[in-house]
Amino acid sequence: MEGLISLVNKLQRACTALGDHGEDNALPTLWDSLPTIAVVGGQSSGKSSVLESIVGKDFLPRGSGIVTRRPLVLQLHKIDGDREYAEFMHLPRKRFTDFALVRKEIQDETDRETGRTKHISPVPIHLSIYSPNGETVILELDNVESCYPKSSEFTVPVRMRNRHRTRINIACVSVTSIDNLRMPPARGKRRGTLLAPPHGTVVNLTLIDLPGLTKVAVEGQPESIVADIENMVRSYIEKPNCIILAISPANQDLATSDAIKISRDVDPKGERTFGVLTKIDLMDKGTDAVDMLEGKAYRLQYPWIGIVNRSQADINKNVDMIAARRREKEYFANTPEYKHLAHRMGSEYLGKVMSKHLEQVIKSRIPGIQSLINKSIAEIESELSRLGKPIAADAGGKLYSIMEICRIFDQIYKEHLDGVRPGGEKVYNVFDAQLPAALKRLQFDKQLSMENVRKLITEADGYQPHLIAPEQGYRRLIESSLVSIRGPAEAAVDAVHAILKELVHKAMSETPEMKQFPTLRVEVSNAAFESLERMREESRKATLKLVDMECSYLTVDFFRKLPQDVEKGGNPTLSIFDRYNDSYLRRIGTTVLSYVNMVLTTLRNSIPKSIVYCQVREAKRSLLDHFFTELGTKEAKQLGKMLDEDPAIMERRSALAKRLELYRNAQSEIDAVAWAK
């Protein structure tokens, strides 16, 4: 079971190291799902003394006003070694054996975060205290004087023999009472034994010491300090996985207890709250805390526990915790009012109860934590995939990244044109509907009106009328009609160009990597548009050449059939002068219109081929060729500018990567514990 607390200790340390303090709703949080014990109390309620009594060491800062200005995650570990020491997570390779230095480091680390002010910060300090397994040792006294002081503390030379009967020479031991002697030697004897209290008596336990609740801001504190502290405390204890250790002084009315008040708000049934009464020995004469300790004054699901802390005089005299614990036990055992409750009173009992309860809570929460971890890992990996890879540091890596992103974009663009993705069908719609409709809407009435036909035929004949057929007149009429086809042809070129540009935007938005780098996105878009512009110009020239070709050379076979077509007015026996009458001119107009319609049919098929060859085909083959050529000439600094990723995305990716590392480590730790069992 002790491995479960160690597991949560590791996870909490990993959470803090990787920035998961539980307050950031923008990221999945593991911190909030871990069972914890939060120590809550008002200022001067004895909260610090309770923690020090549990640990058995003086290590917390003391003073007036707000002393605890950052949450302190205190992790207690039992070890097999023989030395007691402390470690801070922000100083991982430094061991503190002097707990006065631990106190100073807590103060210094608090100041580093908050400055030398009276402000508070939600970023926790992690402190781990490692203590050997406790055992009772027998002290052998040598050269015991024939007479002992009866009241004052004295020192005698000793050798220590542990339960394995291994002797360890020790210079001296401090004895506070002659009652410590198991077998007081007779006067004049030179040897005796001393029963020393167990050393290293911490239990595996994790506690979070929160700033003391206050009712008024003092000088140097912001006006919001009262609400700020309460909000911080609430952010911890309102979580269903938090066990509340509510510290209340017995010499004050329980109804006014800050700890009880805020605990009742978040845990009205008292299912997560352990009540601790301090300063029982300081109550007014004639009063006692029996009703409170028995749960009659305020009932909780778990029994109240009484604590007798060291007095300020004891602290000033540096009375150690071992002596303080012994006095605490003696107080409850010898005070008639509390004698029947002595077996469940005291700081040592409190530590054991909290350790056992924390183990049980952790065990019940492990399946839920595993489920949360697996779900969060999948979500984070998915989002990291959408955000893309981080930027390479060297020029070669940057160039490769740009080329790879462009390749992905180009592939998506081709898929749109090839029908794998939607959009390419719009090009076909231009050829199948827009171009034919535009050609059909062409009006040749003006060019082939009777007046215009007569005018052009007459002008073409010049001073000598045509002999058989007005060939030059035909050419002029056909050319003037075919020129109007240039408009629909150019419109088809522009329509396909617009579609290709639209597909660039679409492919750009569908390339996740492009979203990382706004500058690269603009550069690639501009390069693609410039290429499409060049392709449009080539396509326009090629398409208009098709129209010009039809104007420059007429299909002879079409006209060779006209003289033999007697039924359609091709009677060659008509006189030259009759050929300028309306019927003759109407026949010419009809013939020209038939020829123009034949050309329209031809161009309706050839214009799409020209456009596809010059625009669509080239867009698929060489959309970014010019961009790649210029890219090879750029220096590392220029490449870096193109990869100026949105700072918000960089920050998000970094945060997600840390959080993913946290969850994977947590998954490994939990699996290791499960396999060990």
pLDDT single digits (tens) 382-418: 888 887 777 777 788 888 889 999 999 999 999 999 9
Q: Is residue 669 part of a domain?
A: no
Are residues 3 and 672 in contact, defined by beta-carbon separation less than 8 angstroms? no
Q: What is the per-residue pLDDT across 569-616, written as a single tens digit (0 to 9) for each?
A: 445 444 444 556 767 777 777 888 888 888 999 999 999 999 999 999
Q: Which residue has the higher pLDDT, 450 or 406?
A: 406
Are residues 640 and 438 in contact, defined by beta-carbon separation less than 8 angstroms? no
Answer yes or no: do 124 and 154 share one domain.
Answer: no
Among 199, 230, 252, residue at a domain's last position: 199
Q: Which residue has the higher pLDDT, 1 or 559?
A: 559
Are residues 241 and 267 in contact, defined by beta-carbon separation less than 8 angstroms? no
Amino acid at 472: Q
Q: Which residue has the higher pLDDT, 597 or 531?
A: 531
The rounded Cα 13 to chain-centroid distance in angstroms is 18
Q: Is residue 677 part of a domain?
A: no
Output the CA–CA distances (angstroms, integers) from residue 407 to 265, 396, 499, 617, in the order listed. 59, 16, 21, 17
For residues 625 and 557, give the distance between their C-alpha atoms in angstroms, rounded to a whole number.
45
What pLDDT does residue 388 have?
76
State the pLDDT confidence band at 155, using cuts at 50, 70 and 90: very low
C-beta neighbour count of 91 within 10 angstroms: 11
The percent of residues above 70 in pLDDT, for the chain, comes to 78
Answer yes or no: do 344 and 473 share one domain.
Answer: no
For residues 381 and 391, give the distance between their C-alpha atoms in angstroms, rounded to a whole number.
18
The rounded radius of gyration (Å) of the Cα atoms in the chain is 47
Answer yes or no: do 313 and 424 share one domain.
Answer: no
Burial 394-409 (b: 16+ CB within 10 A, else e): eeeebbebbeebbebb
Answer yes or no: do 126 and 229 share one domain.
Answer: yes
What pLDDT does residue 532 have?
96
Residue whose C-alpha is closest to residue 371's, from 651, 33, 43, 676:
33
For residues 579 and 246, give the distance between their C-alpha atoms in angstroms, rounded to a whole number.
119
DSSP 3-state of 306 = strand
Q: Retrieve residue 302's tokens.
A: 């778990």
Token pair 């079409």 in the structure block, residue = 558
Answer yes or no: do 189 and 240 share one domain.
Answer: no
Are residues 579 and 563 in contact, defined by beta-carbon separation less than 8 angstroms? no
Q: What is the DSSP letter of 33?
A: G
Are residues 643 and 396 in contact, defined by beta-carbon separation less than 8 angstroms? no
pLDDT at 424 over 80: yes
Q: Is residue 317 part of a domain?
A: yes
The DSSP bridge partners found for residue 608 are: none
Q: Is residue 661 part of a domain?
A: no
Answer yes or no: do 168 and 265 share one domain.
Answer: no
State the pLDDT confidence band at 524, using cuts at 50, 70 and 90: very high
Token pair 């319609």 in the structure block, residue = 597
* CATH number of residue 489's parent domain: 1.20.120.1240
Among 180, 199, 218, residue at a domain's last position: 199
Answer yes or no: do 315 and 190 share one domain.
Answer: no
State the pLDDT confidence band at 643, using cuts at 50, 70 and 90: confident
Answer yes or no: do 444 and 337 share one domain.
Answer: no
What pLDDT does residue 186 have?
43
Answer yes or no: do 250 and 268 share one domain.
Answer: yes
Least confident of 109-118, 184-193, 446-455, 621-630: 184-193
pLDDT at 169 over 60: no
Q: Give the helix ranges, DSSP H, for 41-121.
A: 47-55, 99-114
What pLDDT does residue 617 have?
95
What is the phi/psi pair of residue 95, to 5°? -105, 135
Q: What is the per-residue pLDDT across 305-332, written as a single tens digit (0 to 9) for each?
A: 999 988 777 777 877 788 888 899 999 9
Q: Which residue has the higher pLDDT, 602 or 151?
A: 602
Answer yes or no: do 558 and 606 share one domain.
Answer: yes
What pLDDT does residue 193 have?
43
For residues 543 and 538, give the distance between their C-alpha atoms in angstroms, rounded to a whole number.
9
For residues 650 and 655, give the distance between their C-alpha atoms in angstroms, rounded to a whole number.
9
Rounded to the nearest integer, the mean pLDDT of the chain is: 79
Total-model pTM: 0.58
Least confident of 183-187, 512-516, 555-559: 183-187
Answer yes or no: do 475 and 597 share one domain.
Answer: yes
Residue numbers of the domain that contains 152: 136-199
Q: What is the per-residue pLDDT across 68-115, written as a single tens digit (0 to 9) for each?
A: 888 998 888 888 777 889 999 888 889 999 988 999 999 999 888 887
Q: Retrieve residue 540's tokens.
A: 């326009």
Are residues 126 and 16 in contact, defined by beta-carbon separation less than 8 angstroms? yes
Pairing of strands 135-142, 191-199: antiparallel
State the pLDDT confidence band at 19, using cuts at 50, 70 and 90: low
What pLDDT does residue 199 have?
45
Q: Give kind and range of the element (H or E) at residue 168.
A: strand 167-175
What pLDDT does residue 383 have?
86
Q: Return all residues near 201 (Cβ < 8 A) that are at least 6 apart.
A: 56, 131, 134, 348
Amino acid at 441: R
For residues 121 and 106, give the distance between their C-alpha atoms in angstroms, rounded to a whole number.
13
Cα angle vertex 441, ends 437, 445, to 5°?
A: 155
The percent of residues above 90 in pLDDT, for the chain, comes to 28
What pLDDT does residue 171 have?
38
Q: Give kind and range of the element (H or E) at residue 266.
A: helix 258-266
Among 366, 384, 407, residue at a domain's last position: 366
pLDDT at 184 over 60: no
Q: Is residue 384 part of a domain?
A: no
Q: Is residue 375 part of a domain?
A: no
pLDDT at 498 over 90: yes
Answer yes or no: do 113 and 167 share one domain.
Answer: no
For residues 283 and 87, give the distance between their C-alpha atoms in angstroms, rounded to a whole number.
37
C-beta neighbour count of 147 within 10 angstroms: 8
What pLDDT does residue 527 have?
95
Q: Which residue has the higher pLDDT, 652 or 488?
A: 488
Residue whose C-alpha is closest to residue 537's, from 604, 429, 615:
615
Are residues 632 and 561 in contact, defined by beta-carbon separation less than 8 angstroms? no
Domain count, the chain: 3
* CATH number of residue 351's parent domain: 3.40.50.300
Q: Which residue has the higher pLDDT, 3 or 412?
A: 412
Measured N-to-C along each axis, helices 582-611 and 450-461 cross at an angle, to the nearest 10 degrees, of 90
Sheet with 305-306, edge to edge strand ranges: 91-96, 85-88, 125-132, 72-79, 205-209, 36-41, 242-249, 273-278, 305-306
For residues 480 and 619, give the distance between their C-alpha atoms in angstroms, rounded to a whole number.
34
Average pLDDT rounded to a whole number, residues 201-220: 79
The DSSP bridge partners found for residue 87 are: 128
Average pLDDT rounded to a whole number, residues 556-577: 57
| Sequential DSSP letters for 470-498 | -HHHHHHHHHHHHGGGHHHHHHHHHHHHH
The alpha carbon torsion through 277, 283, 289, 292 (nearest 10 deg) reads -50
Q: Is residue 186 part of a domain?
A: yes
Q: What is the per-residue pLDDT across 243-279, written as a single tens digit (0 to 9) for each?
A: 999 999 988 888 888 899 999 999 998 889 999 999 9
Output the CA–CA distances (angstroms, integers) from residue 501 to 408, 509, 533, in the order listed. 17, 13, 9
Q: Is residue 668 part of a domain?
A: no
The DSSP bridge partners found for residue 139 are: 160, 194
Token pair 């003696």 in the structure block, residue = 330
The DSSP bridge partners found for residue 96 are: 86
Q: What is the per-residue pLDDT across 340-372, written as a single tens digit (0 to 9) for each?
A: 999 999 988 998 898 888 888 888 888 888 888
For residues 295 and 513, give the distance between their C-alpha atoms in angstroms, rounded to a whole number.
63
What pLDDT does residue 217 have?
74
